[in-house]
Structure 1
Amino acid sequence: MRVEHDLLGERVLPEDVRFGIQTLRATENFRISGVSLAQFSDFIVGLAHVKKAAALANHELGLLAADKARAIATACDEIAAGRMHDEFVVDMVQGGAGTSTNMNANEVIANRALELMGHGRGDYQWLHPNDDVNRSQSTNDAYPTAVKIGVYLSMQRTLSAMGELKAALADRAAAFADVIKMGRTQLQDAVPMTLGQEFAAYAVMVGESVQHLRRAGDDLLAVGMGATAVGTGINTVPGYAERVVQKLAEVSRLPVRRAEDLVEATQDSGHFVQLSATLKRAAVQISKICNDLRLLSSGPRAGLGEIRLPAVQPGSSIMPGKVNPVIPEVVNQVCFQIIGYDLTVTLAADAGQLELNMAEPIIAFDLLHGLKLLRNACSTLTHRCVLGIEADRERCRGFVEGSVALATALIPVLGYDRSVAVAAEAQRDGTAVRDIVVRNGWLAREDLDRLLRPESMTAPGPAADPGRARVGTRTRVPEPRPTEDR
C-alpha cells in the first residue's frame, strides 16, 4: 500500500495501481454509467497525445527538464500503443467538466514516468502529476482537445465500416441489376424499377453519410491547447500555444490546428453538436435502409418476399420454421440510440455557461459510444446480412406483371383520363391492363407489348406512336365516389 494526499487529506492506495488519490476519489463519487474510460481506447490515445505534446513543448521552451520530458513522453507512447488502459478507471459520466479524467491521465502517466526514472509510485517529489504532467495545461483545454482527437480517431474506424457497407450494397446492386420489380410510393404500387436501382440508392445514401461525417470531423481538428482555464493562457509562456499545437500535430500525425480564438474554443461546443447531428443523419439513413430490408423480406409467403435475408438464427420459441430479420432489427435499435444521443449532446452543449461547458463528459460519452455502436452495427449489417441477400426474381416480376400501376406507362399515348379508366377497371374487375386496352382497340398488340414491357419502364425512353391509338373511341371513365366534407 502507499499513502497519497491532496486538498482534502490523505488516502491509502494499493501499490500495484498507477492511478492516484484524485482518481480514487472520482471512482467513489461517480458510480454512474458503469462505463469507464478504459472502454474507449481512442479517447485514451487522445489523452496520451495531448500529454506528450505538452511535455515536448514545455521542454523546448525550457519549462521541463529533459529527463522528466523524456519519461513522460515514453509513458505516453506506451499508453498510445495500448498499454495501461486498464488504469483508466474513472466513469465516463462525471461532474467537474472532465477534471477527473484529466487527473486519471496525469496520475497514470506520472507514476509510469517515475518507474522509468527509477523511483517508486507516488514519489511525486521527483515528478508530479500536476506540476509536470499537467504543466501549462488546464482540464479546460487538455480534456476537450483529447475528446476531439479521440472522437476523430474513432470516427475513422466508423467511416471504414460504413465504407464496407456501401461497397456491399453496391455489390448487391450490381447483382440485382436485371431484377424487375414494382417500385412503391406510400407503400402502394407505383411504377416498375429494378432491384438493382433500389440497392444502388442505398449505397449512395451511405456514401453521402460518409462524406458529411468526414467534413464534420475535420472541424474537430481545430483545438484549444494553450487556452488553460478560460482561454487567456494563464500559467503559460508566450509562444506555448503555437508550440504545443505543432507538437500535437507531430505526435498524433493529424493535421490539428490552433483554434482561431482560445476563449471561444474553451466555452463553445458547436463542433460537437455539428458532428452529433451528422451522426444522427447517418443513423436515420441506415435505419431507413433496414426498414426497407425488413419490408422487402417480409413473409416469406404472406408478405412482399421480394428478397431473402440470410437465416442467421431461429426466430421463435414456439412457431416452427420462423426466421426473423434480426440483423436489420438490431441495427434499427442502434440507430434509435444514436438519434437519442444527439438530443443529449444538443442539450449538453446548450448547458455551457460563460467561459466553460461543464457537460462535456456526457458529450464525449455519447459521441464515442455512438460511433462505436454505429461502427459495430455497420460491420454486422454488412457481413451478417447484406452480402448474403438473395432476390426472388420470379416473385418480383410477378408483382409487376399483375400490377394496375402498368397503366402509368399508357399516359403518353392514351392520355390521363383513359389511363385512369383502364386502371380503375383493372382494379375493380381484376382484369389485366393489357386485356382492357386490346379489348377497346386503343393500341395495336405490338405497340402495347413494347409500351408495357417492364424493362422499358425503368429509365427514360420514347413512348409508342400515339397515331396508332384509335382516337375518338369512347373512354369509360368511372363515376367518382362521393367523399365526406372533412
Structure 2
Amino acid sequence: MSTFDRLDVRVEQDYVGTVQIPADKLYGVNSVRGFDNLSISPLTVAHYPAFRDAFAQCKWVAALANLDSGVLAATQCEAIVSACREVIAGHCDDSLIVDLLEGSGGTSTNMNFNEVIANRAQQFLGHAPGAYESVHPNDHVNISQSTNDVYPAALKIATYAMLGGLIAEVEKLALQFDAKAGQFADILHLGRTCLQDAQPMRLGQLFSGYASLTHRLAVELATVRDKLRTLPLGGTAIGTGFGAPAAYRKAVYRHLGVITGVDYQAPDNAFDAMQNMDVFSRVSGELRTCSASLAKIATDLTKLSSGPVGGIGELKLPEAQAGSSIMPGKVNPVLPMAMIQLSFAVIGNDVAVAQAAQAGELEINHFEPVVASRVFDSITLLTRGIQRFREKCVAGIQADEARNLAHLTDSMAVATALVPELGYAKVSKLARQSVQEGRTLLAIMEESGVMTRAEAMTAIEKASHPVFEA
C-alpha cells in the first residue's frame, strides 16, 4: 500500500504540490501551507477564544446574509452555521493550526477557518472532508468576503469582547480602592512630594486618589471600546464591495447584531475602514495608560510598605509568599511588583501596535496579526494581573496607624499646618531650632509654651481636610 493509499490520511493539492492530512482533522491544504511556512510563535488562532469565536461569527452571519442575497443554498447555509457553532463551542480547536502571528496578512488565518468550517459542514451533509462536493472553503464559506474585511472585523469583535472583561476588573479594583479610602479615612498620614516630607493628610485621601484614577481608567477604556463597533465587513478586498451582492452588507450587519447582541455598524467610508488601524492605536494607548497608571499605584504601595524596620512601613501588605531563598523571614511585595512588570510588557506591546498601524500600505494593512497578538496579550495580562492584584494584595492592605501618626508628628510637615495659627516667621524660627537640636517641632513648641500638643494636633487635623468648597 502506498503512502497515498493509507486510510488514516486524505490528500489535498494546490499549485505548490500535494499534502497529506490526517483523516480526523478538518483543516485543508491552505492551512497546512500556513502552518509549515509561518509557525513562529507558540500560539495558534484558537488560543484566544474571543478571536476564534469572532471569526466563526463573521462566517456565520456571512452565510445568513448570502442566503438572504440568494447566492447560497439553504442546505449549505444551515451546514455552515452548524459548523460555526461547533467552532465556537471549541470542538474544532485542534484543527485551527495556523499561528496567531502568521505573516500572510491574515490570509492563512482566514483560510484555516474557511477550510475547517467547510469540512465540518461537509460532514453535516454526509460527505467526507477534503472533497468539498457540497461546501467549498472559497466558493461557499468565504463567498462575499475577503481576508481584508473579515480579519479586521473579527479582530475588532474579539477585542470588543475581551475589553468587557478587563473593564469589569478595573471597576472592581476601583471599588476596592473606594473601600480602602473609607477604611483609612480617619488615619493621619504624612503627605510627601519629591519623596520628601510635605503636608498632613489622611491615608484615606491617598487611597481616594487611587480610586478616582481607577474609576477614570474604566471609563476611558469603555469609551475607546465603543469605537470598535464600526467594522469593515462588506468592503471585501479594498473597500469597493466588489464580489458581494448589493444587499449583502446591510444583511450581514443585521444578522451580526442578532447573534452578538452588539450594535455593530458599517463605516461611513469603506476605504478608510480597510486602509487604517488607528482605532487599535487608541485601544492600545488606553491599555498602556491603564497599565502605567496602576504601576504607579503599585510603586507607591511598595514604598509605603517598605521595611519592616528599615523602611517606611506605614502600610502592611498581605504576605503572599517567601521573598528570599537565602534570607529567612524576608517577604517581598510580589503582587505590586508583578503589576509594575506587567506594565513594561504592555508598554512594549503598544510600541509594536503603533509601528504596525503606521506600516499599512495603500488599500490595506497587512500587519493585523501582530496587532491581534499584542492587543490580546495586553488585555489578557491586565485582566489577570488586576484580578490578582485586587484579590491578593489590595483587599488585604492594612495600615499601621501609630507609625503613620509618628512619621507625621515627628516631621517638619507639621510646620505648614501651624502657619495659619502662628505665622510663617515664628514657625520658621521654631522649625530651624527643631533641625538644629534634632527634636520634634511639636516638643519644642510645647516646651516653649507657644502651643500645646493638643492645640497643634487640632491644627494638623484641620490641615488634613480639604479647604475648597464641595
Q: TM-score, normalised by structure 1?
A: 0.91
Pick aligned residue for 2:232 from 224, 228, 248? 224
Contact 2:25 2:94 (8 Å CA) reproduced: no
Contact 2:200 2:417 (8 Å CA) reproduced: no
Q: CA–CA distance in 1 between the matches of 2:112 and 2:164? A: 26
Output one character per residue of 1:328-366: Cα deviation in whole Å (capped at 9) or x when no partner: 111111111001111110011000111011111101111
Q: CA–CA distance in 1 between the matches of 2:219 and 2:430? A: 46
- 3-state SS of the aligned residue for 1:434? helix
Distance change in 2, residues 1:428/1:117 (3 Å): farther
Corresponding residue for 2:254?
246
Output one character per residue of 1:218-272: Cα deviation in whole Å (capped at 9) or x when no partner: 1011001010111011111212112212211112111101111111100100111
Q: Which amino acid aligns with 1:332?
A: I
Corresponding residue for 1:274?
282
Corresponding residue for 1:480?
none
Corresponding residue for 2:431?
423
Q: CA–CA distance in 2 between the matches of 1:276 and 1:15? A: 41
Contact 1:434 1:448 (8 Å CA) reproduced: no
Distance change in 2, residues 1:332/1:128 (3 Å): same
Distance change in 2, residues 1:82/1:419 (3 Å): farther
Corresponding residue for 2:127?
119
- 3-state SS of the aligned residue for 1:266? helix
Distance change in 2, residues 1:439/1:446 (3 Å): closer
Count residues in correspondence: 460
- 3-state SS of the aligned residue for 1:354? coil
Q: Which amino acid aligns with 1:275?
A: V
Q: CA–CA distance in 1 between the matches of 2:392 and 2:183? A: 18
Pick aligned residue for 1:139 from 147, 155, 159? 147
Contact 1:136 1:236 (8 Å CA) reproduced: yes
Pick aligned residue for 1:47 from 55, 66, 69? 55
Query: After the TM superposition, which of the residue ranges 430-439 and 406-415 deviates more from structure 2?
Result: 430-439
Matches within 5 A, 1:10-49: 10-49=18-57
Contact 1:405 1:423 (8 Å CA) reproduced: no
Contact 2:200 2:463 (8 Å CA) reproduced: yes
Structure 1 gaps, min length 5: 463-486
RMSD of Structure 2 on Structure 1 (CA): 1.7
Contact 2:307 2:313 (8 Å CA) reproduced: yes
Contact 2:118 2:141 (8 Å CA) reproduced: yes
Q: Which amino acid aligns with 1:228?
A: T
Pick aligned residue for 1:372 from 365, 375, 380? 380
Matches within 5 A, 1:313-328: 313-328=321-336
Matches within 5 A, 1:64-463: 64-438=72-446, 443-445=450-452, 448-449=455-456, 451-452=458-459, 454-460=460-466
Distance change in 2, residues 1:81/1:388 (3 Å): same
- 3-state SS of the aligned residue for 1:224? coil
Contact 1:224 1:266 (8 Å CA) reproduced: yes
- 3-state SS of the aligned residue for 2:199? strand
Output one character per residue of 1:60-96: Cα deviation in whole Å (capped at 9) or x when no partner: 0101000010111111122223332232221111212
Report the CA distance between 1:184 and its aligned residue. Answer: 0.8
Distance change in 2, residues 1:261/1:290 (3 Å): same
- 3-state SS of the aligned residue for 1:223? coil
Report the CA distance between 1:119 and its aligned residue. Answer: 0.9
Structure 2 gaps, min length 5: 1-8
Corresponding residue for 1:478?
none
Contact 2:167 2:218 (8 Å CA) reproduced: yes
Q: CA–CA distance in 2 between the matches of 1:96 and 1:276? A: 22
Report the CA distance between 1:444 and its aligned residue. Answer: 4.8
Output one character per residue of 1:80-119: Cα deviation in whole Å (capped at 9) or x when no partner: 2333223222111121211111111111111111111111
- 3-state SS of the aligned residue for 1:181? strand
Q: CA–CA distance in 2 between the matches of 1:421 and 1:110? A: 86
Q: TM-score, normalised by structure 2?
A: 0.94
Report the CA distance between 1:419 and its aligned residue. Answer: 3.0
Output one character per residue of 1:285-341: Cα deviation in whole Å (capped at 9) or x when no partner: 110111011111111110011111111111111101001111111111111100111
Query: After the TM superposition, which of the residue ranges 236-245 and 113-122 deviates more from structure 2?
Result: 236-245
Contact 1:109 1:133 (8 Å CA) reproduced: yes
Pick aligned residue for 1:59 from 54, 67, 75? 67
Report the CA distance between 1:451 and its aligned residue. Answer: 4.5
**Percent identical across equivalent pairs?**
39
Contact 2:418 2:456 (8 Å CA) reproduced: no
Contact 2:100 2:373 (8 Å CA) reproduced: yes
Output one character per residue of 1:400-451: Cα deviation in whole Å (capped at 9) or x when no partner: 111111000122233334333332322232222234445666x454884355
Report the CA distance between 1:461 and its aligned residue. Answer: 5.5
Q: Which amino acid aligns with 1:155?
A: L
Contact 2:445 2:452 (8 Å CA) reproduced: no
- 3-state SS of the aligned residue for 1:404? coil
Q: CA–CA distance in 2 between the matches of 1:434 and 1:334? A: 44
Q: CA–CA distance in 2 between the matches of 1:84 and 1:400? A: 62
Q: Which amino acid aligns with 1:354?
A: L
- 3-state SS of the aligned residue for 2:33? helix
